[in-house]
């Protein structure tokens, strides 16, 4: 039997304004409530994960350890609304590596200065991602305490809670903090944010923009 998407009334979204306001106070540059049905999930997003992302398979929050697209699509049908939260990182992306970040990090022939800049950028971005994820977890808790027990957030970027992830055993060291990146779930973040009126720049500018999504029951 085909499952039907839960309908969302535009007039009801205002009751979640407190979450968007809290996101801005916490440091987000934009936050907006949208119907959960406006989140775009695409197979090609997961294909991109497996085609060049250095995190693929290395973390329990990344494919192929993340829920399948079929599983996530089924879960998404059960949510009414979503809070899109956009952050701007303080990490600076030097113009010399902006369009060749992976090459600067992993190509043995890359200039030492390029590699140093790329590694420094990733360290700074990792620190910022952790801060963003702490904010999103706090928003999730706020929604839970307000009477929405199935509220759950995606993460901003790749998980960096541990130096080495326990992918071999499949047991997370921090299950209470473990969340999946939107892209790992197949969400086309560029299209979803663009449709919502808070587009992100990609490829990134000097200070990359990150987006996390809080699903609200």
Locus of tokens 């106070």: 25
The set of residues, in sequence order, having a beta carbon less than 8 Å from that of 122 and lying 6+ positions away, is 105
User: In this predicted structure, what is the pLDDT of residue 99?
Assistant: 65
187 lies in some domain: yes
Q: For the chain, how many structural domains are there in total?
A: 1
Q: Are the CB atoms for 81 and 13 separated by under 8 Å?
A: yes
Q: How far is CA 134 from CA 31, 52, 108, 144, in A?
A: 16, 27, 35, 15
User: In this predicted structure, what is the pLDDT of residue 116?
Assistant: 77
1 lies in some domain: no
Q: Tell me, what DSSP letter sits at residue 158?
A: S
196 lies in some domain: yes
Task: List alpha helices for 84-205, DSSP H.
Answer: 101-106, 112-145, 189-196
208 lies in some domain: yes
pTM of the model: 0.86
List per-residue pLDDT tens for the chain, 217 residues long.
Answer: 344 555 555 556 789 999 999 999 999 999 999 999 999 999 999 999 888 788 888 899 999 999 999 999 999 999 999 999 999 988 887 777 766 766 667 777 777 877 777 788 788 888 888 999 999 999 999 999 999 999 999 998 888 888 889 999 999 999 999 999 999 999 999 999 999 999 998 777 788 889 999 999 8
36 lies in some domain: yes
Domain extent at residue 199: 10-216
Q: Are the CB atoms for 200 and 209 separated by under 8 Å?
A: yes
User: In this predicted structure, what is the pLDDT of residue 12?
Assistant: 66
Q: Are the CB atoms for 178 and 159 separated by under 8 Å?
A: yes
Phi then psi for residue 209, to 5 deg, are -100, 140
Can you read off the two tokens belonging to residue 151? Answer: 């509220």
66 lies in some domain: yes
94 CB neighbour count, 10 Å cutoff: 15
3 lies in some domain: no
39 lies in some domain: yes
């Amino acid at each position: 039997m085909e499952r039907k998407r839960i309908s969302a009334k535009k007039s009801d979204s205002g009751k979640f304004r407190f979450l968007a306001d809290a996101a801005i106070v916490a440091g987000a540059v934009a936050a907006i409530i949208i119907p959960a049905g406006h989140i775009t999930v695409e197979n090609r997003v997961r294909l991109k994960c497996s085609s060049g992302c250095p995190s693929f398979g290395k973390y329990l929050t990344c494919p192929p350890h993340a829920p399948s697209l079929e599983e996530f699509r089924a879960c998404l049908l059960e949510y009414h609304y979503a809070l899109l939260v956009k952050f701007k990182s303080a990490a600076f992306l030097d113009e010399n590596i902006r369009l060749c970040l992976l090459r600067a990090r992993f190509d043995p022939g890359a200039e030492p200065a390029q590699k140093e800049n790329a590694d420094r950028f990733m360290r700074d971005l990792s620190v910022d991602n952790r801060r963003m994820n702490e904010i999103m977890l706090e928003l999730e808790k706020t929604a839970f305490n307000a009477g929405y027990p199935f509220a759950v957030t995606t993460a901003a970027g790749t998980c960096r809670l541990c130096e080495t992830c326990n992918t071999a055993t499949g047991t997370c060291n921090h299950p209470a903090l473990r969340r999946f990146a939107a892209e790992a779930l197949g969400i086309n973040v560029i299209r979803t944010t663009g449709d919502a009126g808070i587009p992100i720049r990609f490829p990134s500018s000097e200070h990359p923009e990150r987006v996390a999504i809080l699903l609200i029951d």
